Amino acid sequence: MHAADDAMREETPIAWRDALLAARERVAAGDEPGPGLSLRPLVHEAWRRALSHAVDPERSLPGITASDAEFREYRAQHELTGALPVIRRLLADDADENGLLVAVGDARGRLLWVEGDRALRRRAEDMRFVEGADWSEERIGTSAPGTSLALDRAVQIRGAEHFHSIVHPWSCTAAPVHDPVSGAILGVIDITGDDQAVAPHTLALVSATVAAVESELRIQRLQTDVQATIRRSRMRRALPDRSLHVLGGDPPRIGGLRLSLRHAEILLLLAWHPEGLSAERLAGLLYETDASSVTLRAELVRLRRVLEGAGLPVPASRPYRLAEPLETDARAVLDLLDRGSHLQALERCTGAVLPESTAPGIVRIRTEVASRLREAMLADAAVEHLARYADTEAARDDLEVQRACLQLLPSRSPKRARVVARIEAIESELG
């Protein structure tokens, strides 16, 4: 609105309202607002949207579609419910004194709460500005709650700028609230009343409240995530260990159940291929020489008996696959490396994957785990982590690892002598 329009509104509000009404009629007829009134583009476009939604500026009223019980259940579960204390503290608690209403709506424009001056709330009931009512642009036309949601920005709508005549005695300021993670619109916060509702400081107050609400939602989300992590951790500690242990020289086991080498090989291969393996593919990964499907089926029958006896899930067939995901210490090492947790990966990797196995598929997994750990240590590990890795059986005779370790160790480190001795021994063996 330009300065001339501000003057008309302040000095002759009735003439200003009549001019807006006339402009609305011209817009409804498909014409421009007309001379003598510089209609704000925001309002002009909002009126056009109202016409496209077939909103009747004299007869349309906000709808209330849900039953009282359905609405209260929906409102109780809405994401803005947790932020209501913040809204009340910053806005609603002062609304009675200032003769204003504070409303909170959902992302579709349905009002969830309407609080503030009692007399004003009773007056607002005449235009159905009540909890549960649909104040979207599609239903009532131009208003601060609906237009704010339509434009995804804070807006102020004064008097006759509303598309519907029943709202002309009112003014309002509203701003949308966004999800702090996804950025999606969660709802809208609105102040409705007389000209105080569109004062410049009102816009600043509503915007500040929205920022506080989004911060509160972010804090609540973090608290929920922390609590969920704690619960999962407690559940893991309470449940028996059912992961597959295949690293190092200890006998392989699933939880507390010791496994034969062959059974551990089968379970690890199925865990590594959660999509499942055909009988031919599994046999090719399991046996060094050709083996009949009868041999494989017999081994799986024995494995199922072992697992059933321990109360553990058994593999399904056609294709062969695990009925439930199975964690393995070998996969855990790779996951830790992917997260950049080199020290934890090094501590978790207590040795080679099933070191006694000669099954082709297990040899590949063993090589993958060892190679990934070696590459990560050489590329990104801190010097103390690399030195620790250089002491492991896997790296003790690795000339490249020992040289890299020597290069990074401080000149006065007591570890240098041991590393130099290893390098000389390796070079001596290589001739």
Q: Which of 102, 339, 80 is nearest to 216 (CA)?
A: 80
Task: Decide if 375 is inside a domain.
Answer: yes
Same domain membership, residue 206 and residue 251? no
Structure tokens at 19: 């001019």
Task: Decide if 218 is inside a domain.
Answer: yes
Same domain membership, residue 120 and residue 53? yes
First to last CA, the chain: 90
pLDDT at 356: 94
Same domain membership, residue 328 and residue 248? yes
Same domain membership, residue 369 and residue 262? yes
Q: How many CA atoms lie within 13 A of 276 on its CB side?
A: 11
* Span of 83-97, 179-193, 205-219, 242-256 with lowest mean pLDDT: 83-97
Per-residue pLDDT of 111-135, as tens digits, reads: 999 999 888 999 999 999 999 999 9
**Mean pLDDT within 302-324:** 90
pLDDT at 275: 94
CA dihedral 352, 354, 355, 360 (to 10 degrees): -110
Asked if the model's pLDDT at residue 15 lies above 80, the reply is no
pTM of the shown model: 0.53
Which positions ≥6 away from 153 have C-beta within 8 Å?
175, 176
Q: Are 149 and 171 in contact (CB under 8 A)?
A: no
Task: Decide if 410 is inside a domain.
Answer: no
Looking at 363, 381, 399, which one is the last position of a domain? 381
Asked if the model's pLDDT at residue 5 lies above 80, the reply is no
SS3 state of residue 141: coil
Q: Are 141 and 50 in contact (CB under 8 A)?
A: yes
Fill in the DSSP letter of residue 199: S
pLDDT at 7: 41
Per-residue pLDDT of 27-74, as tens digits, reads: 766 666 665 556 788 998 998 898 888 888 888 889 888 888 999 999
pLDDT at 380: 79
Separation of alpha carbons 370 and 351, rounded Å = 9
- Phi, psi (degrees; rounded to nearest 5) at 102: -115, 125
Same domain membership, residue 375 and residue 275? yes
Which positions ≥6 away from 401 have C-beta within 8 Å?
374, 377, 378, 386, 389, 390, 395
Same domain membership, residue 260 and residue 188? no
Q: Which of 167, 200, 229, 193 is nearest to 92 (CA)?
A: 193
Same domain membership, residue 257 and residue 198? no
Task: Decide if 401 is inside a domain.
Answer: no
Total domains in the chain come to 2
Same domain membership, residue 339 and residue 203? no
Amino acid in position 394: A
Banded model confidence at residue 237, pLDDT cuts 50, 70, 90:
low
- Portion of the chain with pLDDT greater than 70, in percent: 89
pLDDT at 401: 93
Same domain membership, residue 193 and residue 128? yes
User: Bigger pLDDT: 8 or 285?
Assistant: 285
**Mean pLDDT within 226-236:** 71
**Mean pLDDT within 355-371:** 95
Task: Decide if 79 is inside a domain.
Answer: yes
pLDDT at 32: 67
In angstroms, the Cα distances linking 428 to 407, 416, 421 are 20, 18, 10
Same domain membership, residue 218 and residue 83? yes
Task: Decide if 27 is inside a domain.
Answer: no
Asked if the model's pLDDT at residue 232 lies above 90, the reply is no
Domain range for 189 is 41-223
H-state helical runs in 186-292: 200-238, 261-272, 279-286
Q: Which of 83, 15, 43, 330 is nearest to 171 (CA)?
A: 43
Strand segments, DSSP code E, in 15-54 are: none
Q: At what angle do helices 279-286 and 261-272 cross, to 10 degrees?
A: 130
Same domain membership, residue 93 and residue 126? yes
**Mean pLDDT within 247-263:** 92
CATH number for the domain harbouring residue 186: 3.30.450.40
Same domain membership, residue 315 and residue 172? no
Task: Decide if 200 is inside a domain.
Answer: yes
Q: How many CA atoms lie within 13 A of 217 on its CB side?
A: 24
Looking at 337, 364, 381, which one is the last position of a domain? 381
Per-residue pLDDT of 63-110, as tens digits, reads: 888 888 999 999 999 999 999 999 999 987 776 677 899 999 999 999
pLDDT at 136: 95
Per-residue pLDDT of 263-296, as tens digits, reads: 999 999 999 999 999 999 999 999 988 766 778 8
Structure tokens at 256: 């507390």
Task: Decide if 90 is inside a domain.
Answer: yes
